[in-house]
Amino acid sequence: MAVFSCSTEKVEKEEAVSLRSDEPTEDQLLQIGIQKLGKWVDYWESKGANFNVSNFDLNQEHLYEVIEWPEENVISDDNPLKGHQIPNPNSKGVVDIYQYKILIDEAKQVDFNPDAEVIYFKNNGMRERLLFIGPSGVFEDAVWISESHLLVSGHIQKEEGFVPVVWLILPEEHRYSVYENSFSTLDYSPESYLKEKLSNLKFLR
């Protein structure tokens, strides 16, 4: 009986290790997500950036406090931002990175809020803030890598210039990692990518 018990425990441990080894590493998730953000990658590479994963350095890791309240998706079907929301692949809700940043008046003219946030309208009727950034940065694009991994891309402004950044978020675990690219440039307009991506909008400036 003792021999059988030890053998069973060994098999269970080996199976657990095998299952863990099948899960993608954070670097692999990063690579998959960057490959899905072709438009954003092409835009920054035209400025001279190299988006090989080896050129991104882990800058911060955060466990964040959940900030949420009851609210359904506020973007109606006739809102020009509707098509730019990012549905979760397993129908768990929809992510919005532009609604806070983009200000649209009654004449459909568009201007910018200096701040930005990433909001998750979940299918349980709750609205959760995943990220917030002030005037020193902009969230430019986003993609679901899997139903539990969201990659948000953008930039931050530092003394040496504008630096491409990606935020790898695990909403169900309430944590995210921040990766900065080694590239920086002073020759960049903060809202230039948004104007190209959101080409269906009428920007005031």
Please report the pLDDT score of residue 51 as a whole number. 96
Residues 6 or more apart whose Cβ sits within 8 Å of residue 40 = 140, 141, 153, 193, 197
- pLDDT tens string 174-199: 999 999 999 999 999 999 999 999 99
Give the C-alpha separation, 99 to 93, whole Å.
Answer: 16
Q: Are 106 and 92 in contact (CB under 8 A)?
A: no
Buried b (16+ CB within 10 A) or exposed e, 90-112: eebbbbbbbbbbbeeeeeeebeb
- pLDDT tens string 145-156: 999 999 999 999
